[in-house]
Amino acid sequence: MDIRIALAGNPNCGKTTLFNALTGARQRVGNWPGVTVEKKEGTYKGDKSVIITDLPGVYSLSPFSPEEIVTRTYLCDDNPQVVINLVDSTNLERNLYLTTQIIELGVPVVVAVNMIDLMRKKGDDINLEKLSRRLGCPCIAVSALKQEGISELIKTAVEVAKNGKKPESTLHFTNDAQQPIEAISSIIADKVPAESLRFYAIKCLEGEDRTFEKFSISKEDRARIDSIRQSYEQNVDDDAESAITCERYDMISDVVDECHKRSFKGTTLTEKVDRVVTSRIFGLPIFVAVMFLVYYIAISTIGTGATDWVNDKLFDEGWLITNTEQYEEDKGDYEDAQDQIKHYIEAAEEAGVETDDVKEALEEEDKSDEDKATIEEFADSLKDKNIAITYDKKDDDTKEVSQVSVDYDAFREALDVEEPDPAEYGLFMPSVPSVVGDWLDDIDAAEWVKGLVLDGVIAGVGAVLGFLPQMAVLFLELALLEGCGYMARIAFLMDRLFRRFGLSGKSFIPILIATGCGVPGVMSTKTIEDERDRRLTIMTTTMIPCSAKTPIIALIFGSIAGGDAATTAWVAPLFYFLGIFAIVISAIMLRKTRFFAGEATPFVMELPPYHVPSARNVGMSVLDRCKAFVIKAGTVIFISAIVVWFLLNFGMYDGSFGLLDSKMDDYMQYSIMAVIGNAFAWIFTPLGFSDWQTVVTTITGLVAKENVVSTVGIITSVGSEASESDPDLWTSFAGLFNGNVGAMISFCAFNLLCAPCFAAMGAIRNQMASAKWFWAAIGFMCGFAWVVGFIIYQIFSAVTGSIQPIGLAIAFIFLALIVFQVVRPMPQRSGASADERSAATSVPLASE
């Protein structure tokens, strides 16, 4: 028979570390029914009949946050055979608050006193025998990080589960509280489970609506309970909930004083470090420096090298494993020869020679006999012409510039230099498109199948997987910061700033993570207890530019500045600041609505002592986040790539519907996508772009932001493989807007601020747990993005002399409405329940 063990404890007490140590790889991750909280379940690696459920970390069993509701519901209604309550030995008094509530439930309990190694390092000591006697249940010393005491803990838990022994605690409140609790117990005794009678009696004394509703307590009984509570409150001169909290802490304080021997060695290392990293003066600059280093390593060094390998080797050229030096030398000679050909043809063109045919022939990868003949005829025609050219060649390694002279003989020699085939040099691994393409050729697949698989599926999925190395490095760094305890300090530090804009410090973590990818950013909002704050954070988080939006920014400033370094220096950061500014303004605007009215909930977070993170936990965290990222590539992008390819390559031509001929000029204007683009063009006309090409690009961006650059490449015939740094793509993209800078900036603003990709939308739907709130979030993001794009375009047009009076007037009206919403007084919140109104004071923590 299986033994079910529930693992409960405060956040940051080491519960996840213990769960991983107990279960190893035997874990299942999902969501609790009806809520957004993640659930983990696994089997004990030493005995598959022992099933362990990792409950969400909570500070109490007050039913205000989804985590508290899930933990309490599971402990009360799902009947685990034993509860392992993990407590942090370095913060025993705080952690025992939850312990006393679990004991009152009457379920079998084993207390795991964790971080015992850190406690001993401080010179402290806990008398576990006394603690066990006072709590009425076994107390086992463990170190989840170092896996000390794990075997004894699980052995004791199994024994308690088999015996079904419930706690026999000697803990009691004072008579002031004990008498009303006993009086209420007699009223509800026939309505609640006998083993949990004391727990529910206390909740009734606190006036908890959920308990009254759960057990259908009659109006008469509730009136008697209310009378008892009122009498108690008059006696203690305080509200019942606060009085019970004080009673509980007084009771716990007596236990701790009796069982916990403290040594006083002065200021700890954690306290010394916190004086600097959380200070008002140095805290923010240190955080900026840390984050700069994190993103520099992930985006500009290790991550970029690995990403370039995936993009250039795995999904493009393939890679040579042996004899690479000779290949690189020969490849360099070939590239030099191509440069010579290019410059010599330019010189011939300036001399009045027709070059269109030879350019077209040279661009063909698989040259036909006709192409080769065209090249030969062109070379022969130059034999007697006195054409020569000298151009500058820059060495990327040494940064030196040398002059190269090319005459007719050098030109002929360059034509004879063939591109080296890496497969002929040694052990060669072909690229994914190459392998799949050869396989499709072998089975004689239809052309439309090849196009779908190579240009649709592989190109789409490859574009996402190209970001995976950067994301993996970023996830690793964030996991290290989280594991060592610094991430909690960041949230504490940012709370001071974010509270001014209506957000909690906990909202910063999702925004920070969303700079890498919106999916884990949205998923991380589950750590925000208050439902209003969680929804508000979800509706603003994805406005920050993520890694998939970075190519859009690069494409825009490349099209505007043409790669000019001076312009690039300010244009790229400008769009990042636009995202941050949009989050701030949106948060203030939403907070001034009746749905989100009121101050952000008090920021409460345990600041754990600094410690070296577990390599296993860090690895599992990175693996989980990378897995979520890959699933995004393998599902949403896979499907969207097929849909986008189909819409761009099928349509009506000459009265018949079918696959369009890609060799035909402007074939995509007959596609289904063109029809869709024209149908929605009127929506974006006020933003400065109304051609079906730009509208289609925006639509595919809603599917996946990675699609924007590739869609531009396809539509402009530059090629789907063209990167955001391709000058040809810059020119073609600017041509779609007729060089209108205001329209290009408006286009970028809309695509950065509107609803995120389908994968992130799925995460929003999951975390909102409500279709109504999901569509409200998507509608707000798209509407806000449209208004911002409209204001940018109209004002930019007016400044540059292309004023549109009506449009400018409407833009200023929108701007005035935004300012009004930001500065208006906070409205009265409607629809708040009694539980919600008291949520801020219910959690037994008061430090900020």
pLDDT in tens, 478-531: 888 888 888 778 777 777 777 777 777 778 778 877 877 787 788 778 767 677
396 band by pLDDT with thresholds 50, 70 and 90: low
Whether the pLDDT of residue 424 is over 60: the answer is: yes
> Please, what sign has the CA dihedral across residues 797, 801, 807, 812?
positive
838 band by pLDDT with thresholds 50, 70 and 90: very low
Distance (Å, whole) CA 281 – CA 444 = 68
Cβ of 34: how many Cβ atoms within 10 Å? Answer: 11
Residue range 617-624: mean pLDDT, rounded: 81
Residue range 78-107: mean pLDDT, rounded: 90
Each as own residue / partner, the long-range contacts of residues 592-598 (CB below 8 Å, 24 or more positions apart, any chain) are: 592/821, 592/822, 592/824, 592/826, 592/827, 593/827, 594/827, 594/828, 594/829, 594/830, 594/831, 595/532, 596/502, 596/532, 596/535, 596/536, 597/826, 597/827, 597/828, 597/829, 597/830, 598/532, 598/826, 598/829
Distance (Å, whole) CA 208 – CA 222 = 11
Distance (Å, whole) CA 178 – CA 197 = 13
Please tell me the chain's helix, strand, coil percentages from 3-state DSSP, rounded to the nearest 5. Answer: 65, 10, 30
**50 DSSP β-pair partners:** 3
Please, are residues 64 and 56 in contact by the beta-carbon 8 Å criterion? Answer: no
Radius of gyration of the chain (CA): 33
Conformational region of residue 796, where left means phi above 0, alpha means psi within -120 to 50, and beta covers everything else: alpha
- The type of residue at 323 is N
pLDDT number for residue 832: 45
Q: Which tokens sit at 77?
A: 């209604």
Digit-coded pLDDT (tens) for 48-61 = 889 999 888 888 88
pLDDT number for residue 102: 93
Whether the pLDDT of residue 847 is over 50: the answer is: no
Please, are residues 519 and 510 in contact by the beta-carbon 8 Å criterion? Answer: no
Give Cβ neighbours of residue 223 (< 8 Å, ≥ 6 apart).
Answer: none
Digit-coded pLDDT (tens) for 444-462 = 888 788 878 887 778 767 7
Whether the pLDDT of residue 142 is over 60: the answer is: yes
843 band by pLDDT with thresholds 50, 70 and 90: very low
Q: In Å, how far from its chain's centre is CA 537?
A: 12
Q: Which tokens sit at 119?
A: 């406690």
Comparing CA positions, the residue from 324, 51, 238 lying closest to residue 161 is: 51
Distance (Å, whole) CA 88 – CA 115 = 6
**9 DSSP β-pair partners:** 86
Cβ of 731: how many Cβ atoms within 10 Å? Answer: 15
Digit-coded pLDDT (tens) for 117-135 = 878 877 788 899 999 999 9
Q: Which CATH number fits domain 175-266: 1.10.10.10, 3.20.20.140, 1.10.287.1770, 3.60.60.10?
A: 1.10.287.1770
Q: Between residues 220 and 659, which one has the greater pLDDT?
A: 220
pLDDT number for residue 777: 92
pLDDT number for residue 146: 84
Whether the pLDDT of residue 297 is over 90: the answer is: no
Q: In Å, how far from its chain's centre is CA 821?
A: 29
Distance (Å, whole) CA 730 – CA 387 = 32
Q: Between residues 434 and 265, which one has the greater pLDDT?
A: 434
Distance (Å, whole) CA 619 – CA 789 = 41
Least confident of 276-285, 313-322, 465-474: 465-474
Whether the pLDDT of residue 570 is over 60: the answer is: no
Q: What 8-state DSSP symbol labels residue 143?
A: B
Distance (Å, whole) CA 587 – CA 501 = 6
Q: Between residues 569 and 12, which one has the greater pLDDT?
A: 12
Please, are residues 104 and 173 in contact by the beta-carbon 8 Å criterion? Answer: no
Q: Which tokens sit at 78?
A: 């799902």
Digit-coded pLDDT (tens) for 56-88 = 888 888 866 677 788 888 888 888 899 999 998
Task: Show me where the domains of the chain are located.
Answer: 3-163, 175-266, 324-429, 471-835
Least confident of 211-225, 227-241, 394-408, 782-796: 394-408
Distance (Å, whole) CA 431 – CA 433 = 6
- Fold of domain 3-163: Rossmann fold (3.40.50)
Residue range 192-204: mean pLDDT, rounded: 90
Whether the pLDDT of residue 227 is over 90: the answer is: yes
Whether the pLDDT of residue 42 is over 90: the answer is: no
**86 DSSP β-pair partners:** 9, 112
Least confident of 206-215, 414-423, 613-622, 743-752: 613-622
Whether the pLDDT of residue 311 is over 60: the answer is: yes
- By DSSP bridging, strand 109-114 and strand 139-141 are parallel
Distance (Å, whole) CA 784 – CA 790 = 10
Q: Where are the alpha helices (DSSP H) in 189-297?
A: 197-206, 209-214, 219-236, 240-259, 269-277, 283-295
pTM attached to this predicted model: 0.64
> Cα–Cα distances in Å, from 387 out to 345, 353, 392?
10, 11, 17
Q: Which tokens sit at 672?
A: 């289904």
| Mean of pLDDT over the chain | 81
Distance (Å, whole) CA 171 – CA 215 = 26
**68 DSSP β-pair partners:** none
Distance (Å, whole) CA 716 – CA 710 = 10
Distance (Å, whole) CA 137 – CA 488 = 32
Distance (Å, whole) CA 478 – CA 555 = 28
